[in-house]
């Protein structure tokens, strides 16, 4: 692991997710840019002193020199955006697979270089778009792929949060500080942080690709340096249209990600804060509620479900599905077998490039007087 030391939020989430299915063991880490804090963090996690590295460079280069049965198999990078590209490149160059927090890099140019390195090495990169890991998201994707609703016509996705309704970053909150700092977060705040999740979910569930957008991007809180709110009109490659709303100044909201997809014969609706339920609506039949863990669900939904129906499976389990599928893929490769489609169902470098393209296109559109901006990669 790179990053995720003491008092870091997302590192602990990654470790819980990785440990959930007994497939992955924490082998070593460079948990902080501060060598002393990295050592302290690693020891608290039960690692030997010589597996708590002072820098990611030291860790990757040292591990690469060890025999294959003694070194790490992959690296999980859980740092802020600006510290994604360099360690990911170094890991790939030294033969290590990568799990990487989103967005993939600081710029689209970096993302393209990283994607090319993945292709050159033949290694795997998993991007942690957590919401694609939920069983009912996979059920929704499967139903659309099976053409249950006919041609898709409209997609509506919204992601309101309220935690940045005030100038939270000025009070010393680390999460708020780096997310609103252009040098660490990149050219976008809200759209880079949560807008990318909404865009990825719209493409993942529908199987479509965004081709054009028209964005209204706002910075609402005084003295904030990056956007904290935005509304985006979308066009998809089959002619469908869509609406994406992302806001971190929606006071009172928690993490209220929702998506609705409508086709010729019906549609579906999923809410992240009620993740076990998929609402399915028909033009000529009563509305149905599909629930996690039941036998009528698709094989892909069942593959990503751990416990019987009626038991909540949430954010940690969805995160765990990304790690599980990635681990099963690597395990298959180590055994000389081809991974199955279910195993390979995790976001990749290609998704990372599209995410960075979304950020750059949406910010460009927000600054433009043109109605529509072509989605350029």
pLDDT digits (tens, 9 = 90+) for 287-337: 999 999 999 999 999 999 999 999 999 999 999 999 999 999 999 999 999
The token pair at 64 is: 């690469």
Q: What confidence tens digit (pLDDT) does each residue in 199-222 have?
A: 999 999 999 999 999 999 999 999
How much is the pLDDT for 246? 98
Q: Is the pLDDT of residue 8 over 90?
A: no
Percent of the chain with pLDDT over 90: 98
The token pair at 253 is: 């909201």
Q: Where are the beta strands (DSSP E) in 197-354?
A: 210-218, 229-236, 241-247, 258-263, 266-271, 277-282, 288-291
How much is the pLDDT for 296? 98
Q: Which DSSP string do the residues of 20-81 spell out, in sequence order?
A: TTS------BB--SSHHHHHHHHHHTT--GGGB-SSHHHHHHHHHTS-TTTS-SEEEE-S-G
State how far the Cα of 225 lies from the Cα of 21, in Å rounded to an integer.
41
Select from 49, 35, 28, 38 the least CA-distant residue to 7: 38
Could you count the other beta carbons within 10 Å of the beta carbon of residue 311?
Answer: 12
How much is the pLDDT for 7? 83
Q: Which one of 1.10.3720.10, 3.50.50.60, 3.30.360.10, 3.40.50.720 gives the CATH number of domain 134-309+352-367?
A: 3.30.360.10
How much is the pLDDT for 228? 98
The answer to whether 184 and 85 are in contact (CB under 8 A) is no
**Strand 241-247 relative to strand 277-282, pairing:** unpaired
- With a CB cutoff of 8 Å and minimum separation 6, the contacts of 306 are 20, 21, 313, 317, 320
State how far the Cα of 243 lies from the Cα of 233, in Å rounded to an integer.
5
The token pair at 173 is: 């909150």
Q: What confidence tens digit (pLDDT) does each residue in 19-62 have?
A: 999 999 999 999 999 999 999 999 999 999 999 999 999 999 99
User: How does the average pLDDT of the chain come out, rounded?
Assistant: 97
State how far the Cα of 314 lies from the Cα of 134, in Å rounded to an integer.
7
State how far the Cα of 108 lies from the Cα of 357, in Å rounded to an integer.
6
Q: Is the pLDDT of residue 9 over 90?
A: no
Q: Where in the chain is the domain with CATH 3.30.360.10?
A: 134-309+352-367
Select from 137, 146, 91 the least CA-distant residue to 114: 91
What is the maximum alpha-carbon separation in the chain?
Answer: 65
State how far the Cα of 31 lies from the Cα of 323, in Å rounded to an integer.
19
Q: Where in the chain is the domain with CATH 3.40.50.720?
A: 9-130+344-348
How much is the pLDDT for 285? 96
The token pair at 217 is: 């991007």
Tell the CATH superfamily of the 9-130+344-348 domain: NAD(P)-binding Rossmann-like Domain (3.40.50.720)
Look up residue 2 and give its DSSP letter: B
Q: What are phi and psi of 97, to 5 degrees?
A: -70, 165
Q: Cis bond leading into 103, ω under 30°? A: yes
Mean per-residue pLDDT for 80-90?
A: 97
Select from 260, 299, 294 the least CA-distant residue to 280: 260
- Which residue shows structure tokens 């790690």? 323
State how far the Cα of 257 lies from the Cα of 273, in Å rounded to an integer.
7
How much is the pLDDT for 245? 98
Residue 31, SS3?
Answer: coil
pTM of the model: 0.96
State how far the Cα of 303 lies from the Cα of 134, in Å rounded to an integer.
11
Rg (CA), the chain: 21
- Which residue shows structure tokens 């009912």? 136
State how far the Cα of 99 lies from the Cα of 221, in Å rounded to an integer.
33
The token pair at 170 is: 């000025």
Residue length of the chain: 377
């Amino acid at each position: 692991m790179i990053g995720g030391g003491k008092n870091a939020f997302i590192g602990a989430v990654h470790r819980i997710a990785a440990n959930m299915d007994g497939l992955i063991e924490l082998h070593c880490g460079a948990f902080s840019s501060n060598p002393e804090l990295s050592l302290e963090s690693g020891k608290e996690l039960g690692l030997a002193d010589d597996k708590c590295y002072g820098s990611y460079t030291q860790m990757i280069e040292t591990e690469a020199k060890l025999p294959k049965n003694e070194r790490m198999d992959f690296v999980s990078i859980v740092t802020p955006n600006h510290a994604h590209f360099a360690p990911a490149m170094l890991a790939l160059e030294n033969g290590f697979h990568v799990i990487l927090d989103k967005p993939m890099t600081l710029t689209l140019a970096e993302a393209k270089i990283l994607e090319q390195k993945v292709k050159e090495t033949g290694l795997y990169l998993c991007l942690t778009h957590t919401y694609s890991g939920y069983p009912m998201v996979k059920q929704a994707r499967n139903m659309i792929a099976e053409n249950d609703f006919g041609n898709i016509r409209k997609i509506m996705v919204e992601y309101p949060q309220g935690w940045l309704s005030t100038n939270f970053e000025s009070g010393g909150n680390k999460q708020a500080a780096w997310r609103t700092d252009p040098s660490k977060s990149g050219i976008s705040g809200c759209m880079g942080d949560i807008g990318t999740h909404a865009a990825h979910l719209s493409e993942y569930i529908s199987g479509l690709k965004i081709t054009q957008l028209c964005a209204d991007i706002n910075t609402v809180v005084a003295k904030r340096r990056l956007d904290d709110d935005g509304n985006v009109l979308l066009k998809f490659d089959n002619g469908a249209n869509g609406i994406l709303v992302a806001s971190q100044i929606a006071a009172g909201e928690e993490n209220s990600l929702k998506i609705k997809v409508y086709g010729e014969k019906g549609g579906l609706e999923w809410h992240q804060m009620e993740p076990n339920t998929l609402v399915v609506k028909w033009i000529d039949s009563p509305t149905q509620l599909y629930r996690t863990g039941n036998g009528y669900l698709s094989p892909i939904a069942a593959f990503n479900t751990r416990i019987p129906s009626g038991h909540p499976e949430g954010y940690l389990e969805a995160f765990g599905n990304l790690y599980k599928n990635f681990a099963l893929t690597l395990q298959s490769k180590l055994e000389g077998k081809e991974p199955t489609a279910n195993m390979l169902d995790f976001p990749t470098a290609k998704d990372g490039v599209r995410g960075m393209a979304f950020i750059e296109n949406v910010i460009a559109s927000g600054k433009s007087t043109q109605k529509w901006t072509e989605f350029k990669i």
